[in-house]
Structure 1
Amino acid sequence: MLEKAYGDVVLSKTRAYEWYKAFKDGREVVEDLPRSGRPSKSSNEENIDKIKTMVLENRHLSLREIARGVNMSHESVRGILVDILGMRRINGDDKWMYENEKETTQHSSEFCSEHEPKPKKPRRSRSEK
């Protein structure tokens, strides 16, 4: 009956019984619980502190430059910056760049935490002839 209503997205009978038992035994959340196993090598406090220090000293570093600096993969660094430190890449000049300017969007972008205001870049106007 559930398969008719929900199609392929319905839980199997076995999985439904497992969830029923888990909630009956006192589980209150549906999110994954912490698991045992080998901890991540890259997301330790030492690496998090190194990355945070590098970014706060120079917010214009690229992910690759940071990854080379801490000898980690690009994705591990991105995970620490975004998921753990809550930072994101900001491009402050998307609309105000002239073709002849040497600074590219990549060079002028910065890492900022969620609670920091967006960086301001002065708007340049063309001089009148």
Structure 2
Amino acid sequence: MLKKAFGDETLSGRNVYKWHKQFKEGRESVEDEERSGRPSTSTNVKHVKQIKDLVLKNRRLTIRDLIDITGISFGSIQTILKEHLNLRRCAARLVPKTLNLFEKERRVNVYQEMISDYETVMERIITGDETWIYAYDPEIANQSSEYRAKGEPKPKKSRQSRSKIKVMLTVFFD
């Protein structure tokens, strides 16, 4: 009956029975009573602004980094990020190689140069293989994740751009 009358705003059955019992025992006020316990001081306006400024300056900060910088507890920072700032952690969206016009042109020129240099050698080759050797491995999705608000687009990251420094290792057998 309560669900029909009040919809989603209805108290759960358990809470209805608890309130009924308290009123039957003599309670007259519907206001919250004083409770023992430590008041929440970490989620005040000052800390929310401090966390917001830090995250907007560097979106890749982790909660542990924010703990070290501010001295606020893990749970409080998590509450500030999720409930007060409406931020969530987003991994970068992987896209195919992002080559600009000059990089594409350079690839064509290098290929044509290699073909002209090795035309006579190509006749004797039985088999060959090639691979790229990178200077360092790319970041994993966790390492490149950032805090973003709900409406903001995900950051993009090239799938193959592992390093600016790479060498092509080519092996031929004749």
**Judging changes above 3 Å, is the alpha-carbon distance between structure 1 residues 41 and 124 closer, same or farther for their aligned structure 2 residues?**
same
Spell out the pairing of 1:54-69 with structure 2 (5 A cutoff): 54-69=54-69
**Judging changes above 3 Å, is the alpha-carbon distance between structure 1 residues 10 and 95 closer, same or farther for their aligned structure 2 residues?**
farther
Does residue 15 in structure 1 map to residue 18 in structure 2?
yes
Deviation digits for residues 77-113 of structure 1 (CA, Å, limit 9, x no counterpart):
11110111100000115798xxx62423332010001
Aligned residue among 120, 123, 126 for 2:156:
120
Alpha-carbon shift at residue 15 of structure 1 (Å) = 2.7
Alpha-carbon shift at residue 122 of structure 1 (Å) = 2.3
Asked whether the equivalents of residues 92 and 108 of structure 1 are also in contact (C-alpha less than 8 Å), the reply is yes
Alpha-carbon shift at residue 71 of structure 1 (Å) = 0.5
Q: Partners of 1:17 and 1:40 in 2: how far apart?
A: 29
Q: Partners of 2:86 and 2:22 in 1: how far apart?
A: 32
Alpha-carbon shift at residue 123 of structure 1 (Å) = 2.9
One-letter amino acid of the structure 1 residue matched with residue 157 of structure 2: K
Asked whether the equivalents of residues 93 and 108 of structure 1 are also in contact (C-alpha less than 8 Å), the reply is no
Asked whether the equivalents of residues 95 and 158 of structure 2 are also in contact (C-alpha less than 8 Å), the reply is no
Alpha-carbon shift at residue 117 of structure 1 (Å) = 1.4
Local SS of the residue matching 1:55: helix
One-letter amino acid of the structure 2 residue matched with residue 43 of structure 1: T
Q: What is the number of residues matched between the two proteins?
A: 108
Alpha-carbon shift at residue 14 of structure 1 (Å) = 4.6
Q: Partners of 1:87 and 1:79 in 2: how far apart?
A: 10
Q: Partners of 2:52 and 2:15 in 1: how far apart?
A: 44
One-letter amino acid of the structure 2 residue matched with residue 17 of structure 1: H
Q: Partners of 2:44 and 2:145 in 1: how far apart?
A: 26
What is residue 111 of structure 1 aligned with on the other side? Answer: 147
Which structure dedicates a bigger proportion of its chain to strand? 2
Local SS of the residue matching 1:79: helix
Asked whether the equivalents of residues 90 and 110 of structure 1 are also in contact (C-alpha less than 8 Å), the reply is yes
Asked whether the equivalents of residues 55 and 61 of structure 1 are also in contact (C-alpha less than 8 Å), the reply is yes
Q: Partners of 2:32 and 2:137 in 1: how far apart?
A: 50
For the pair shown, the structure with the greater C-alpha radius of gyration is: 2
Percent sequence identity over aligned pairs: 32
Which moves more between the two structures, 115-124 or 51-60? 115-124
One-letter amino acid of the structure 2 residue matched with residue 118 of structure 1: K
TM-score (norm 1): 0.63
**Judging changes above 3 Å, is the alpha-carbon distance between structure 1 residues 16 and 119 closer, same or farther for their aligned structure 2 residues?**
same
What is the alpha-carbon root mean square deviation over aligned residues? Answer: 3.9
